[in-house]
Structure 1
């Protein structure tokens, strides 16, 4: 079986905070089979590059590959693994030896250099790992489940206890920072399928009804559990939705956060998909294919939004660790938060759908303990609206 690998590594400091990203494709290099984001630790860029290759080759071998094509933007690693350049650095020599052993076990492996722009997905995964290390994560793969105690060690009494939170089965002692994420209700722009970013359309009457339904459902889920604060985007459609939720929950402080504004669509604001494509077909196609690294004219990329949302979330740890927060925002902001909880990069935001007034729930434990997604886009309460 033939597989293709795209891999990349990076270091902020060289040596410094290092991470690697690896994407496994089918033999036609069309279908993604696996993505890996690996926290290397303190290392050089080249060491991180080797980790990305080793992780990819090991995964390909485990998947049964007998032929592999490796694509990288590191000329050094490509030339060294192809046998054309000597390996002098002892750290890289040890890693190269490990990679070469995997090459022999697989059978047929080739290495090909590609421009950085063609390696964006692996680069995003490497940056995700470096971000996680900066946040306190330990070396290893992101998104792996924590080790659990053997089932035989659990008593009958333990088994009979209700499990209300993943902290029970994952062994977390600290309470998580829990987010309930609510997308604002319907607007005229959402019904007309227009790009709606920093513009300020108001809720429709249907949107207000949706917000009230979400407020009622959220109160049911919380069941009296205390909410430390409600955070809202300053844009009208989100703010009005948040005010409706605040009225339902009672004495909860409502705060606005600029970081929760929707993606800035620049000159595409208010345009339909077809109108934006007509304005600049080449750029629009690039945006649709890779919104993480392409931006609308005078707008921002998904990666830029992802980073501002991450920075805002990290800033909450000091004052709200162990608390429950309600966040009322927009589709791309909520997707970014869910992706961060999943350990997925900004390139994953287009892989799931969020309805107006849908409810999602995520938890973040202390950095080394990871995160948990509890629900995504719950919409049962909106039936009949």
Structure 2
């Protein structure tokens, strides 16, 4: 499946024409995560030239990551957006070769253009100003930490169809209709759970332990008492299917399997404790803890890759179960990822959540794209 990227680009000139520079950022459309930045001081030029140069740099950065990607370009330049969309003619001789260069980077139909107001293009604007400031000092622009401004990350999420942060302190308006609610259940314990061993989708696929089966019974009773669940969807892994089957039998519902809800593939770390991974693969573990783009040793899955998979599953389920309350039986990483995306929290927040076996969390999604976290790591039914 081709990646979907958002390219935000900008350019500026202090004098028009005057000292000019551009900035661009490539965002993962599913998560809003910044994947690459580009900026450069280009000497004396006009605003329009700088904006086109920013567009080209952003597309080139996206192509370097994945030449088969689908791109959504977002700029606050009405001129560039309308010209590249084919609605306005390109009359100025300085613009034509730049537009032609931009058009050659991806095949027709793989790039769309959207105008956004300047306040939603702060990341690229900041990079362009950094480049112009560097040029004024006579030094090249150097990238800092690749992280979007909060407004840019929210804009990326909205452009990707990702739920935006819910209004603070108030529920969504009544005229939005009933939300789609995902009740998120982490599976019951396996023999590996109390030992805190890595147990993902690439390991032994363990069954529930006796304790895990008791936990599944307890959560089934609690959900039956609430009487709100209308469908049950589970990860394909055995521990989740067993947990889901117990709950569904109590509720009189069938179980549907969703591949996107499976746990991370932890590669060579499967079955090991954290201490054992630290001893055997210290450098890889440090990289994994430092970045959600790093994958476990031996071909495992990065958390960034899991986020793309989980967000795709979320979107499919939201479309299929609109307005209903659905139990999703999954694992630590997918549940944390759904919570993180609902909150618009940064990727590193995955390391700052606790999620117990057989715990319940819940997220409500509204028709306007807002999401509201209703519950996190509830284990009251296990006492």
Deviations 1:9-29 (A, max 9, x none): 44788694449xxxxxxxxxx
- For 2:331, the equivalent position in structure 1 comes to 330
Deviation at 1:294, TM superposition (A): 0.8
Deviations 1:118-139 (A, max 9, x none): 42x43898566424312177xx
Distance 1:293 1:124 in 2: 19
Deviations 1:189-244 (A, max 9, x none): 11111110012011110111111111111222x3x33x332111111111111011
RMSD: 3.5
- For 2:348, the equivalent position in structure 1 comes to 347
Deviations 1:335-379 (A, max 9, x none): 11111211224332112100000011111112x340111111111
CA gap of 1:207–1:325, structure 2 versus 1, over 3 A, is: same
CA gap of 1:175–1:85, structure 2 versus 1, over 3 A, is: farther
Equivalent pairs, count? 281
Distance 2:289 2:130 in 1: 30
1:52 aligns with 2:52: no
Distance 1:326 1:231 in 2: 6
CA gap of 1:178–1:281, structure 2 versus 1, over 3 A, is: same
Deviation at 1:143, TM superposition (A): 2.1
The structure 2 residue matched to 1:134, chosen from 157, 160, 175, is 160
The 8 Å contact of residues 162 and 369 in structure 2, kept in 1 or not, is answered as: no
- For 2:223, the equivalent position in structure 1 comes to 218
**Equivalences for 1:16-55 in 2 at 5 Å?**
16-18=72-74, 42=114, 51-52=122-123
1:186 aligns with 2:189: yes
The 8 Å contact of residues 8 and 49 in structure 1, kept in 2 or not, is answered as: no
CA gap of 1:255–1:125, structure 2 versus 1, over 3 A, is: farther
Distance 1:264 1:210 in 2: 25
- For 1:371, the equivalent position in structure 2 comes to 371
- Structure 2 residues not aligned, in runs of 5+: 1-22, 30-54, 60-70, 76-112
3-state DSSP class of the match of 1:190?
A: coil
Deviations 1:94-117 (A, max 9, x none): xxxxxxxxxxxxxxxxx97335xx
CA gap of 1:313–1:125, structure 2 versus 1, over 3 A, is: farther
1:206 aligns with 2:211: yes
- Structure 1 residues not aligned, in runs of 5+: 1-6, 20-40, 55-71, 87-110, 149-165
3-state DSSP class of the match of 1:312?
A: helix
The 8 Å contact of residues 9 and 51 in structure 1, kept in 2 or not, is answered as: no
The 8 Å contact of residues 17 and 133 in structure 1, kept in 2 or not, is answered as: no
3-state DSSP class of the match of 1:264?
A: coil
CA gap of 1:317–1:48, structure 2 versus 1, over 3 A, is: same
TM-score, normalised via structure 1 length: 0.64
CA gap of 1:129–1:300, structure 2 versus 1, over 3 A, is: farther
